[in-house]
Structures are given as structure tokens and as C-alpha cells.
């Protein structure tokens, strides 16, 4: 049974930054909104959105999140590829063909030889890019049908299926995992990383919840859902520093001789930590919802006070996460003048739902601002190191994670 515990109100498509004509209502289509409510499934302990948004509305040729523009993430994917190559050697694979689900603009796959790497990417702008880079790319969503087609075309199954920040976007997890099971070679590994529900709950980072994140995963829930699809979760790595706290999950076929794989200690450890926190108990989610309400009222009061005192406030990083915060809290241009970002595709556009202008960081004199709200709080250290001049000039950052506060 699915029980609702959180209502984040009417929300737009988190990454659909708008052109001026769309803001003015002169475009053909009206901006799309949906009810962002969150449910807990008693049986599997999975946390999901109550209402899913049609994938094509989110993941299309206009998709604005370019992973390769994020220097820390490019390094993360290079390190990840090295790590997986080492494991492959340890675990005795002879060859390695790699398929990435949701390859974006290629920062992970580019660490593998062209003939070895296969991409699956529904956003045409990125699919074209990885194809041009020399990787066979399927411009499609990951489904059982697509997996079958890929295996048939290649005439072999896959040794490594990897995915970062994408499996939690897939609404039908049974179809997704069955597709993996059908296409993974006998001793193959499926490795994926996504934001961790435990870290979200600990850190109060409710803005991990938006249209794209159909689910926020606990190890507890994943273990059950993978199992019912004939897959074994055999190892977990805690990536505390990635996207505000993620888990990297290692999966293999259920019934193979598993001597060469790690024992399950890391899985037991992660599940114990989650159970201790209460992720199997609905009450924990009700407490979290109260914390989210408090976060909203603290943030709005703070911004209103700053506004009354004549302080200038901008936001740093036009993130999907800040779409949730701004729309849930009702924060518009009256409280935040502009948002800075470094992504060319977002610059010159307006934030989804709240219509705050997004400006090129290099063209905004942030020293003119008293406060910067950290939309990209997951890059807190990178940003505060980079913006020392702002701090030395008396500027302060505001964050809502783990609670609303300012820092410099
Ligand atoms: P960032 C995206 O979420 C969407 P978002 C997606 N659904 C997902 O799952 C996660 O990623 C993983 C800018 N920036 O990474 C760049 C600066 O301007 O937190 C980005 O636009 N200056 C796929 O959107 C944004 O901030 C900087 O110095 O919440 C960061 O977005 C830095 C470091 C970033 O993901």
C-alpha cells in the first residue's frame, strides 16, 4: 500500500528553463505543472512520486543538464571508470563491453575505448554528441524492447551496464531491471549510482525530489525490487560527496557462483544504517515532512526579512533542486533578483515556474549582492572556494541544507 507523506505543491518541469516569450505567455504551449506529492510503499519501502510526469516532457532534445560542464563530475566519472576497470581485473573478466543507461553528453563513456562503449540516451541533443564521439548510441529510453534489440544487434550480452543519476528517473523499475537481467552476461555486473534516501532524510534536502526523480532509493527498497527481478544486490559504496549523498549499487545475476564477488557486508551495513534511522517505518517520513515545512517557513521568513532590510539577494546555480525549493516556497523575483549559472543552454532563460532570470556568472558582479542562496548546495565547497572575493567583501551564502542558515 502506498501512503502519502509529503506535498511539495504544484511544480513545473524542473529542467525546463523558459524563453521570454514563454514567460510572457506568447508561446503556443502553456507552462506545464503537476502535483508533486511523495508516497512510501509499505511492501517494498520504496519512496516515489505519487504522480509521474510523462518522460517525453522531461527528457527530450531540449534537455539542459550537461554533465560535462561540471568539472567535479567529470573527475568523478573518470575516477569511477578507473575504479570499475580495476574491479574488472580483480573479478577476472576477460573483455569488457560497457553499456551506459542515460549517457548524457558522455563524461563516463569517454573513458572507454570506442568499440567497447554503447550509449542509451533519450535526449537527442546528447545522443548526437556521443554518436559523433564514436560510441554507438541508441536515442531511446531503456526498456525491455530496447535491451532485446541491442543484444540481438550485437550478438552478445553485456559485461558491464552502468548508469549514474538515471535509474531513479525510470518509472517502471520492474521493466528496467528485467531489461538488465535479460541483457547482462552470465558474470556481468550492473552498477548504478543515484541520490541516497538516507542522506536526503538526514540532511533535510527535500529538493532532491522533483519530476525527474520518480524514486529516491534506499538500499532496503532496491534489494527487494532487484530480488523480485532475479537480480542480486551484492555491494554498496557510500558516495557521501556526490550530489548531496549518493549510493553506488553493484548488482549481478542471482544464481551464479559468487565466490569472486565481495561478501555482502557493505549491503548489510547500509541496510542496518537505514533501518536504524527508521526508513522502514512510515512515522520517520511524517517527521521528515514536518522538517520540510519548517525549512520552508524559515527560508521564506529569512528572505522576506532581507528584502525588508534592503539587502540584495541572488541565487547561485540554476539547479533542478532549486526549482523545487522556489516553487514549493513561493520564491520569485520579489525575493531573489537573479540566478547565476555557467551552463550556456540555461543562460538568458528564466527559472521554471518562478521566472527568475538566469544570468551568466561571468557577467554578474556578485560583489553587488549581499547574499547568495546556494541552489547548488551540493557543490558548496567548490563554490565557496571559487568565490572567496565575495566572502571577503562581506558577502554571505544562504543554504537550506541541513537547515536554513547563512555562512561565509
Ligand atoms: P547540479 C541534475 O540535477 C539533474 P541538478 C538530474 N536529474 C540529476 O539527477 C542530477 O543532476 C544528478 C551550475 N554551477 O549538478 C551548473 C555553476 O553555475 O547540482 C549546473 O547548472 N557554478 C540529471 O540540476 C548547476 O549549477 C558552479 O561553480 O540539481 C548544478 O546542478 C557549479 C559547481 C555549478 O544538478
Averaged over 226-233, what is the pLDDT? 96
Read off the pTM: 0.95
- 201 alpha carbon – ligand 1 mean position (Å): 20
Tell me if 319 CB under 6 Å of ligand 1.
yes
Ligand 1 pocket test target in 14, 122, 317, 349 with most atoms within 8 Å of CB:
317
Position 389 scores a pLDDT of 97
How far is residue 390's CA from residue 346's CA, in Å, rounded to a whole number?
23
pLDDT band per the 50, 70, 90 thresholds, residue 28? confident
Instruction: Say if residue 274's pLDDT is above 70.
Output: yes
Average pLDDT over the chain reads: 95
Q: For residues 15 and 123, is the Cβ–Cβ distance under 8 A?
A: no
Position 207 scores a pLDDT of 98
Tell me if 351 CB under 6 Å of ligand 1.
no
pLDDT band per the 50, 70, 90 thresholds, residue 259? low
- Residue 212: partners with Cβ closer than 8 Å, 6 or more residues away: 14, 15, 58, 59, 169, 320
Position 27 scores a pLDDT of 73
Ligand 1 pocket test target in 55, 64, 67, 70 with most atoms within 8 Å of CB:
70
Position 263 scores a pLDDT of 63
Averaged over 334-342, what is the pLDDT? 97
Position 258 scores a pLDDT of 60
Rg (CA), the chain: 21
Among protein residues, the one whose CA lies closest to atom 23 of ligand 1: 165
pLDDT band per the 50, 70, 90 thresholds, residue 260? low
Q: For residues 118 and 135, is the Cβ–Cβ distance under 8 A?
A: yes
Q: Would you state the torsion angle of the CA atoms of residues 201, 207, 208, 211, taken in this order, to the nearest 10 degrees? A: 130
How far is residue 336's CA from residue 12's CA, in Å, rounded to a whole number?
18
For residue 368, give Cα distances in angstroms to 252, 293, 338: 54, 31, 12
Share of the chain above pLDDT 70, in %: 98
Q: For residues 374 and 318, is the Cβ–Cβ distance under 8 A?
A: no
CA dihedral over 271, 273, 276, 279, signed as positive or negative: negative
DSSP string across 236-277: EEEETTSTTSEEEEEEEETTS--TTSPPTHHHHHHHHHHHHH
Among protein residues, the one whose CA lies closest to atom 7 of ligand 1: 212
- H or E segment at 359? strand 358-360
Position 100 scores a pLDDT of 98
Among protein residues, the one whose CA lies closest to atom 26 of ligand 1: 317
Instruction: Say if residue 406's pLDDT is above 70.
Output: yes
3-state secondary structure (DSSP) of residue 174: helix
Share of the chain above pLDDT 90, in %: 88
- Residue 288: partners with Cβ closer than 8 Å, 6 or more residues away: 5, 6, 201, 204, 206
Residue with the larger pLDDT of the pair 87 and 297: 297
Q: Which atom of ligand 1 is nearest to the CA of 342?
A: 18
Instruction: Say if residue 117's pLDDT is above 90.
Output: yes
Query: What are the tens digits of pLDDT across the range 376-399?
Result: 999 999 999 999 999 999 999 999
Averaged over 317-322, what is the pLDDT? 97
3-state secondary structure (DSSP) of residue 48: strand
Tell me if 253 CB under 6 Å of ligand 1.
no
Amino acid at each position: 500500500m502506498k501512503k502519502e507523506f509529503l506535498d511539495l505543491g504544484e511544480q513545473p518541469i524542473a529542467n525546463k528553463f523558459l524563453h521570454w516569450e514563454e514567460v510572457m505567455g506568447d508561446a503556443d504551449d502553456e507552462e506545464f505543472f503537476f502535483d508533486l506529492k511523495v508516497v512510501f510503499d509499505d511492501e517494498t519501502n520504496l519512496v516515489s512520486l505519487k504522480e509521474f510526469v510523462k518522460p517525453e516532457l522531461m527528457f527530450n532534445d531540449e534537455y539542459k543538464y550537461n554533465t560535462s560542464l561540471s568539472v567535479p563530475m567529470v573527475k568523478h566519472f573518470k575516477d569511477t571508470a578507473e575504479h570499475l576497470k580495476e574491479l574488472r581485473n580483480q573479478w577476472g573478466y576477460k573483455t569488457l563491453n560497457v553499456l551506459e543507461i542515460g549517457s548524457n553528453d558522455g563524461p563516463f563513456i569517454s573513458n572507454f575505448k570506442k568499440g567497447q562503449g554503447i550509449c542509451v540516451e533519450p535526449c537527442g541533443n546528447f545522443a548526437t554528441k556521443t554518436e559523433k564521439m564514436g560510441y554507438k548510441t541508441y536515442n531511446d529510453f531503456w526498456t525491455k524492447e530496447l535491451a532485446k534489440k541491442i543484444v540481438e544487434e550485437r550478438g552478445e550480452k553485456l559485461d558491464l551496464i552502468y548508469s549514474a543519476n538515471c535509474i531513479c528517473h525510470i518509472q517502471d523499475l520492474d521493466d528496467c531491471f528485467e531489461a538488465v537481467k535479460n541483457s547482462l552476461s552470465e558474470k556481468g555486473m550492473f552498477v548504478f549510482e543515484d541520490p541516497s534516501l538516507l542522506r536526503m532524510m538526514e540532511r533535510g534536502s527535500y529538493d532532491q525530489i522533483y519530476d525527474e526523480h520518480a524514486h529516491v532509493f534506499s538500499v532496503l527498497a532496491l534489494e527487494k525490487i532487484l530480488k523480485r527481478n532475479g537480480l542480486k544486490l551484492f555491494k554498496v559504496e557510500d558516495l557521501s560527496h556526490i550530489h548531496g549523498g549518493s549510493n553506488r549499487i553493484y548488482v549481478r545475476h542471482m544464481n551464479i557462483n559468487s565466490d569472486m564477488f565481495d561478501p555482502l557486508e557493505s549491503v548489510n551495513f547500509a541496510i542496518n544504517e537505514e533501518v536504524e534511522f527508521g526508513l522502514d517505518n512510515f512515522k520517520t517520513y511524517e517527521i521528515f515532512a514536518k522538517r520540510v515545512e519548517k525549512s520552508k517557513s524559515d527560508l521564506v521568513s529569512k528572505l522576506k526579512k532581507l528584502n525588508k532590510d534592503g539587502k540584495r539577494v541572488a541565487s547561485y546555480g540554476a539547479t533542478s533542486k532549486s526549482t523545487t525549493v522556489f516553487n514549493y516556497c513561493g520564491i520569485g523575483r520579489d525575493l531573489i533578483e537573479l540566478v547565476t549559472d555557467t551552463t550556456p543552454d540555461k543562460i538568458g532563460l528564466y527559472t521554471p515556474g518562478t521566472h527568475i532570470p538566469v544570468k551568466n556568472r561571468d557577467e554578474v558582479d556578485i560583489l553587488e549582492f549581499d547574499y547568495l542562496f546556494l541552489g547548488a548546495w551540493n557543490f558548496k565547497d567548490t563554490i565557496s572556494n571559487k568565490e572567496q572575493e565575495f566572502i571577503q567583501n562581506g558577502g554571505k551564502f544562504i543554504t537550506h541544507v541541513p537547515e536554513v542558515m547563512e555562512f561565509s
